[in-house]
Every structure is written in C-alpha cells, then in structure tokens.
C-alpha cells in the first residue's frame, strides 16, 4: 500500500468508481427489457402512464378494507347493515381526511428535519443509507441471475454457441459485479478483490474484470481523515505532524495511506481506516450471505458460501489495525534470518484500532520488471527470495501473509551495499495453519514434486478433496493433470497449458466450488496466496522454475523432520531422522549446483571439456 502513484491516477480513482452507477445502469436495463418481462406491475405502470390525466382520475379505485369494499355512492345503508357487527364510527370516518393531512404534515416535517440533520452532519452520501446499498445489491443479483437463466435456456449444452454465450454472460455479470463493488465500496470491494485474485479457480472473465478493484478503491476526504485522527488520537493533524500529504500514497478497500513527518523529524506512513467501513461491514456480510443463499436455491451448483464464511472470520481482524501491527512484528521476528526482507517498524504510541503509524518505506512493485531492470535488480533473485519467504511461512512456521498482491510487496536496491531487498506491507490478513494440516500439506507437495500419485491421492483425500483429488492437484499447482503425472518440476508451464488451465476453470466451476466448500478453511487463503504468487511469477517470467521447487522441497523436508523428532522418544530414532534430513538436503544442494553449472558459462566449459576428454579416450 506504500506504492508511489501519480496524482493523475489518484484523482482518477473516484471518477472511475463514480462512472459505475448501478442505479443508472439498471434503469436503462429495465427500460429496454420491459417488453421481455411482462410482469403485472410493469404493465399496470405502463398503462397508467399512457392514460390522460382525466382518464386516470375517472378510473375505478379499489381499496381493500378489513370490512369489505368501500362504497363511494351516497346512502350506504346496505354496507352499514353488512358491517353492523363492525360498529363503524361515523365521526372517525369523517375525521379521516383531517388525520391524513396531519400525518402528511408530520411526515413532511420529519423528512425536512432529517434532511437538515444529515446535511449538517455531512452524511449526504447515499451509501450511508442501508436501503440504497441493499437495493443496489438486490437489483444487481437479480439482473445477473435473470441473465444466466434466460441467455442459456434454449442453447444445447456443450456446443460452441453455448460456450460463447456463457463467456458473454460471465463477462456481463463480472462487469455488473464490479460496478456494484465500486458503488457500495468497503466490504464489497474487499470481497471483489478476493475473487479477482483467484486466477486459476474462477472463470477468466471474472478474475480479469475484478482485478482492477486493486487500483480503483475509493478515497476518504481530508475532512473524514481529520475526523478519524481527532477521534482516535485526540489531536489535530497539525499538532501531530510537521507535514501531512493530502494525496494518499495508496487507497485500498478498508483504508488509505498518507506520507507524513512527525514533530521529531521521522518520516512515517499513516494508515487510516475509512470512517464508515466499520459500521457497514457486518451488515454488508449479512446481506451477501442472504443473497448467496437465495441464488443457491435457484442454482444448486452455486457453492460460494465459503466466501461469506471467510469474510465473517477475517474482516474483523483486518479492521483492527493493532492486530495488523502485532502481525508485522511477529513475522519480522520469525523471518529475521532473511537479510533481504524489510518489514516497516510500528510506532505504537500513535497507533489505534483505526490508525496505524509505520516506518515509511518506498520502492517499486514486485511485478514491475521495467523498474527492476532500470535499477539493476535481478528479477530471478527477487523471485527466488519471494519463494523462500513464502515456503518458510507456509511449511515451516504455519503463519502466512495472505495478501501478497503487487501493491503489498515492494522491491528496492540499497544504494550503499547494492543489495536488493523485499519490503512486505499490509499485515492485516494472516492464516495460522494447524500442525496436522501443515504436515499433510507438506507431504502432499513432496508427493507432487516427486510425481508420487499414490501419495498425492492419499494426502489430497486427507485434506478434503475426496474423489476430486486430480482436480485438487491441478488447482494447487496450476498445472494440467498430464504435467502433474509427469512431474511438475520436469518442464515449465507452456502458453498452451496456461490457456488450457484457465479454460478449465470455467468448465469445472461446479466441481471447483464443491472442493472449496469441502476443504479445510485454512486451505482457502492458501489457494488465494498461491494464485497471487503465480501472478507475480508470470509477470516476471520466472514461473515454475526449478529453483522454486527446490526451495519448497527444502522447507518441506525441514518441517517434516522437525515434526517427527518432536514426536519421537527414541534417541536412535531422532538421530536417524536428522541423518535422513541432512542427506535429503545435501541431495537438493547437489542438484541445485548441477542446474547452476548447466546454465552458466563455466558449466558449459566443463561439459565441453569432459566431452572432449571422453572422445579422446
């Protein structure tokens, strides 16, 4: 979130989200589709609009009363007899117009007072009204559901026309969902970003469309920022800072970051929560849950309740910036042996649940290959080091930073030493892995690297995949089943294989959603993290390199050996485990040396020399 962005880009964020107006869009849709949706109410409104004013006044009015139909002719003796047991009060009937006028006046005064109050308190944003947010969400869900129900109704399943139309519906629905996220903001953008990160799990139309939400989050105004700081820190901005940049370094779904200088001269990054997110988050999640349950009744294969469950669990943690500060300090201590890693220091004396002060760090985004080449940073080294970080977090420590999108991972070259380092930002979302889950996950990856299909099946089933273990293996590795069988470290991902995997995400969507509902909840954020890391590797053209699998293998061996030693009470057994671990790591180091020699000039010279020696003998 500390990434540098231009003023033009920052100013365009709000304009981009404002142009997505679901209300305007839906009005246009309804106007165009009235002829296709001949509902009784739509027809009645159309007829009412077509009638002249006088004809409307002469049209018969029906008023449903508890006692029966209301007579409009003088001398309603018959009606009075039929309502004799009701004991209708003539005075009350005569006074009803007066009461109606009084009620109308009171309602008007209440509305005017509410308007003045809201204006005076600067709460005129339509997003502050729950009915507006709910209305948008319901309308968007209804339009998307109707589109899926009607667009594919009479098309043969599996035909080219069906696949084409399905892709078009996916794209339209993704665009509507993006518009809804931009309009409702906050939690909706957070969930949209999560979906946009699932590159190899959701149809490409969705992931490609929703990815833009990472750079199109709305911004809070200067007045809103001042209000949050005043409420949480008890002081004005000018009392705390010598300077405070109005233009944020970056804006996200839940907060935005500003550069500032403290009174003692320290340059800091100030992360400030959007003021209305906290109040709206629980209601938004409940609304999403209700809508997903309704959609599931229409489409039984639609299994996305895992998304709501994850949001329920993780969003309160992400909204607590003190928790984020603790996570930052924990991971910095945990990975202190990696001298290429930088984690911003937290200034606790000026941090609260909604305001977080950190050491200011800047650099280029980790997927910016042009920036790295310009600054003399080795792309392969950065990719290897990032793989080391995440292998250590996942397999060894079981404490995983689960939001490594490019804005949260920066790179910079130290001008003094010339060493490139990785800056890890935004520590609000971490996944803690249980020991049993971590061991099963380690052994599954070991089996995948060795192409041991029996163990792949065994540990996939233990992680909840069941009979869908081949699909589960493909989801984890983002490789085809043929590549998994052959060995994922044997060849890099080809362009055709990548296209095949992405197309399969749409073809196997029901099975994928079934898997996501069956696997342990710990797996969900790992899958998202894997996809984000693959996206970075793809941008750097380092995906599926042999070195990444070697680092992963090292961490798996260390993790399993440490676990086995902790469970063993025999000295001989512990010594045997340690020797086996050392031998396995030595084999990996030897293989890595072979790969380095094979790819270097020295290695080529050695191979040529040995070849000539062989021929001469």
Residues forming beta bridges with residue 420, ordered by sequence position: 413
Q: Taking a C-beta distance cutoff of 8 angstroms, is the pair 411, 421 a contact? A: yes
Q: CA 577 → CA 502, 564, 582, distances in Å? A: 41, 7, 9
**Residue located via tokens 């991972």:** 409
Give me the half-sphere count of Cα atoms (radius 13 Å) on the Cβ side of residue 44: 4
CB 508 within 8 A of CB 471: yes
Q: Whole-angstrom Cα distance, residue 152 to residue 160?
A: 12
Distance CA 589, CA 550 (A): 8
φ, ψ for residue 432 (rounded to 5)?
A: -95, 125
Interstrand relation of 241-244 and 341-342 (parallel, antiparallel or unpaired)? unpaired
For the chain, what percentages of helix, strand and coil (3-state, to nearest 5) are there? 65, 10, 25
3-state secondary structure 320-360: CHHHHHHHHHHHHHHCCCCCCEECCCECHHHCCCCEEEEEC
Distance in angstroms (rounded) separating the CA atoms of residues 16 and 182? 8
Q: How many helices (H) and strands (E) does the chain have?
A: 27, 11
Distance (Å, rounded) from C-alpha 191 to C-alpha 306? Answer: 12
Three-class DSSP category at 432: strand
Can you tell me the distance from the alpha carbon of 55 to that of 32, in angstroms, rounded to the nearest whole number?
A: 27
* Cα–Cα distance for residue pair 400/442, rounded to 1 Å: 14
**403 is known as an active-site residue:** yes
Catalytic residue among 199, 284, 368, 403: 403
- Please name which of 464, 134, 74, 473 lies closest in space to residue 306, comparing C-alpha atoms: 464
Q: How many CA atoms lie within 13 A of 451 on its CB side?
A: 13
What is the Cα 138 distance to its own chain's centre?
20
Closest CA to 389 of 308, 332, 432, 440: 332
Please give, one letter per residue, the 3-state secondary structure of 270-324. EEEECCCHHHHHHHHHHHHHHHHHHHHHHCCCCCCHHHHHHHHHHHHHHCCHHHH
Helix, strand, or coil here: 452?
Answer: coil
Return the active site residues: 403
């Amino acid at each position: 979130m500390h990434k540098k962005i231009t003023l033009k880009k920052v100013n365009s964020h709000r304009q981009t989200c404002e142009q997505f107006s679901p209300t305007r869009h839906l009005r246009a849709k309804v106007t165009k589709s009235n002829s296709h949706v001949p509902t009784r109410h739509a027809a009645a409104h159309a007829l009412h609009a077509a009638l002249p004013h006088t004809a409307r006044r002469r049209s018969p009015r029906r008023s449903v009363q508890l006692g029966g139909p209301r007579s409009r002719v003088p001398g309603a003796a018959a009606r009075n007899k039929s309502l004799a047991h009701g004991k209708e009060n003539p005075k009350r009937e005569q006074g009803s117009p007066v009461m109606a006028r009084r009620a109308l006046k009171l309602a008007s005064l209440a509305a005017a007072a509410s308007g003045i109050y809201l204006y005076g308190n600067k709460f005129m944003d339509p997003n502050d009204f729950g009915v507006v947010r709910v209305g948008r969400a319901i309308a968007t869900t209804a339009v998307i559901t109707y589109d899926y129900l009607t667009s594919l109704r009479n098309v043969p399943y599996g035909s080219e026309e069906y696949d084409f139309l399905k892709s078009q519906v996916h794209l339209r629905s993704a665009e509507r969902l993006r518009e809804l996220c931009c309009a409702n903001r906050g939690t909706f953008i957070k969930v949209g970003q999560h979906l946009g990160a699932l590159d190899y799990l959701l149809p490409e139309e969705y992931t490609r469309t929703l990815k833009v939400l990472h750079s199109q989050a709305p911004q809070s105004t200067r007045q809103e920022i001042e209000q949050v700081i005043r409420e949480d820190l008890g002081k004005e901005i000018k009392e705390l800072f010598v300077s405070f940049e109005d233009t944020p370094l970056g804006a996200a779904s839940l907060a935005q970051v500003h550069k500032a200088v403290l009174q003692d001269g320290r340059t800091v990054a100030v992360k400030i929560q959007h003021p209305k997110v906290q109040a709206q988050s629980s209601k938004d999640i409940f609304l999403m849950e209700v809508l997903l349950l309704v959609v599931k009744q229409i489409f039984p294969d639609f299994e996305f309740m895992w998304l709501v469950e994850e949001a329920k669990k993780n969003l309160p943690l992400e909204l607590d910036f003190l928790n984020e500060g603790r996570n930052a300090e924990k991971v910095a201590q945990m990975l202190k042996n990696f001298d290429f890693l930088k984690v911003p220091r937290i200034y606790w004396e000026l941090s609260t649940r909604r305001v977080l002060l950190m050491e200011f760090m800047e650099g280029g985004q980790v997927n910016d290959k042009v920036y790295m080449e310009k600054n003399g940073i080795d792309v392969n080294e950065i990719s290897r080091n990032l793989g080391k970080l995440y292998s250590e977090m996942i397999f060894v420590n079981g404490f995983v930073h689960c939001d490594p999108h490019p804005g949260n991972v920066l790179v910079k070259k130290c001008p003094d030493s010339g060493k490139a380092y990785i800056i890890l930002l935004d520590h609000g979302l971490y996944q803690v892995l249980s020991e049993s889950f971590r061991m099963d996950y380690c052994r599954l990856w070991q089996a995948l690297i060795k192409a041991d299909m029996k163990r792949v099946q065994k540990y996939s089933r233990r992680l909840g995949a069941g009979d869908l273990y081949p699909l589960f293996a493909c989801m984890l590795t983002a490789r085809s089943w043929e590549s998994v069988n052959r060995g994922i470290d044997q060849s890099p991902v080809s362009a055709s294989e990548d296209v095949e995997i992405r197309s399969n995400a749409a073809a196997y969507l029901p099975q994928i959603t079934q898997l996501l509902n069956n696997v342990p909840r710990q797996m969900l954020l790992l899958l998202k993290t894997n996809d984000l890391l693959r996206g970075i590797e793809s941008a750097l053209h380092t995906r599926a390199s042999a070195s990444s699998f070697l680092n992963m293998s090292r961490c798996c061996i260390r993790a399993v050996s440490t676990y086995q030693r902790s469970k063993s009470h025999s000295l001989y057994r512990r010594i045997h485990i340690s020797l086996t671990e050392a031998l396995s790591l030595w084999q990996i180091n030897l293989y890595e040396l072979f790969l380095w020699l094979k790819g270097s000039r020295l290695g080529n010279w050695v191979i040529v020399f040995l070849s000539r020696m062989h021929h001469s003998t």
